[in-house]
């Protein structure tokens, strides 16, 4: 029996409720009932809105898929919100199918996540060399060392010591730390918003990369203030071109924003009341390639622009 076509467009949380919005379709036997199944704690919620108009799905998937959308708010146990869940489909012949991984399904096709997939694919094409991760410290018990293909070496750099850190140092001084032409690739996750001078790091990356070396960057387009006070920047998909360009010796291969979001103002006024209706994204990512050397420099020491702000150790819990 074929699996249904289905897509989660939104599974956003607001206090104790979660909005689930998407669609599912199977030509024969037809889907007659859809349920959201949460394993922790065990909770099953019927999606009673299933059957909403879906002209967009009919145009893209099947002309018969004219009423296969769902869109509703679910009241759930707090422990279930934000965890992986699944959709359970009951068919007109009484068969039951389960579409696993609704959160993973919601990320499919997201440009923000696709950049990382494409970067890893590019790494697999490299015969040898060393890959640098900037901000490698496993502060949240997450490491990506094992995602680097075995034929490549890995070096983890972080401004603070800790798990998965091979060298402690400042990304603004990569040239001094590693010399020229050391790496075939470099990457960072949620680091560029914490760099006092990301344009200087772009120049430093040019110096430590071989010709043709590639760089993956992932940061935020929208996010609450975090790691205060060393939280400096937010990036759109167009930001990467401003410091990874021909003058700095790079070309942008791919860039995109993803993880769609809504911005709600806590004090609504005629300007802010419409903010939730406008596009916003949590993430911004890019892949760039070194195309030439650069003569640009930015001889400004970190102490001038971020004096007394950069971390000297683990951030303490804020006072309550």
Determine the pLDDT at residue 315: 44
Determine the pLDDT at residue 313: 56
Determine the pLDDT at residue 319: 35
Exposure string of 127-139, with b = 16+ CB inside 10 Å and e = fewer, is eeebbbbbbbbeb
- In 3D space, the residue among 73, 80, 70, 71 whose CA is nearest the CA of residue 25 turns out to be 70
Average pLDDT over residues 254-265: 95
Taking 90 as the threshold, does the pLDDT of residue 70 lie above it?
A: yes
Parallel, antiparallel, or unpaired: how do β-strands 153-158 and 167-168 relate? parallel
pLDDT band at 74 (very low <50, low <70, confident <90, very high): very high
Taking 50 as the threshold, does the pLDDT of residue 44 lie above it?
A: yes
- In 3D space, the residue among 195, 200, 284 whose CA is nearest the CA of residue 235 turns out to be 284
In degrees, rounded to 5, the angle at the alpha carbon of residue 188 between the alpha carbons of residues 186 and 190 is 170
What is the C-alpha separation between 281 and 191, in angstroms, rounded? 17
Neighbours of 275 (CB within 10 A): 13
DSSP 198: H
Neighbours of 33 (CB within 10 A): 14
- In 3D space, the residue among 126, 182, 116 whose CA is nearest the CA of residue 149 turns out to be 126
Determine the pLDDT at residue 306: 84
Determine the pLDDT at residue 200: 98
Taking 50 as the threshold, does the pLDDT of residue 317 lie above it?
A: no
Taking 80 as the threshold, does the pLDDT of residue 211 lie above it?
A: yes
Structural domains present in the chain: 5-106 (2.60.40), 111-305 (3.40.50.150)
Determine what percent of the chain is predicted with pLDDT higher than 90.
Answer: 84
Q: Is the pTM of this model over 0.85?
A: yes
pLDDT band at 1 (very low <50, low <70, confident <90, very high): low
């Amino acid at each position: 029996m074929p699996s249904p076509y289905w897509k989660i467009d939104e599974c956003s949380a607001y206090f104790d409720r979660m909005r689930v919005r998407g669609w599912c379709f199977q030509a024969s036997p037809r889907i007659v009932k859809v349920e959201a199944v949460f394993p922790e704690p065990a909770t099953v919620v019927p999606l009673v809105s299933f059957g909403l108009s879906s002209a967009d799905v009919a145009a893209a998937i099947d002309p018969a898929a004219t009423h296969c959308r769902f869109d509703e708010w679910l009241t759930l146990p707090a422990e279930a919100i934000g965890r992986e869940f699944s959709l359970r489909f009951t068919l007109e012949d009484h068969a039951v199918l389960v579409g696993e991984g609704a959160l993973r399904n919601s990320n499919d096709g997201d440009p923000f996540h696709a950049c990382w997939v494409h970067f890893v694919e590019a790494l697999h094409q490299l015969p040898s060399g060393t890959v640098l991760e900037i901000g490698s410290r496993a502060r949240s018990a997450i490491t990506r060392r094992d995602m680097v293909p075995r034929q490549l070496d890995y070096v983890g750099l972080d401004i603070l010591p800790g798990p998965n850190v091979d060298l402690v140092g400042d990304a603004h001084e990569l040239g001094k730390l590693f010399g020229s032409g050391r790496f075939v690739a470099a990457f960072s996750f949620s680091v560029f918003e914490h760099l006092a001078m990301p344009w200087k790091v772009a120049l430093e990356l040019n110096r430590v990369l071989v010709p043709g070396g590639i760089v993956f960057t992932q940061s935020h387009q929208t996010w609450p203030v975090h790691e205060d006070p060393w939280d400096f920047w937010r990036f759109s998909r167009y930001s990467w071109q401003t410091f990874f360009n021909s003058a700095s010796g790079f070309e942008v291969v791919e860039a995109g924003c993803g993880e769609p979001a809504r911005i709600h103002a806590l004090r609504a006024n005629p300007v802010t009341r419409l903010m939730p209706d406008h596009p916003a994204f949590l993430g911004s990512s890019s892949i760039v390639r070194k195309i030439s050397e650069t003569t640009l420099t930015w001889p400004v020491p970190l102490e001038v622009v971020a004096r007394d702000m950069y971390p000297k150790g683990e951030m303490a819990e804020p006072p309550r």
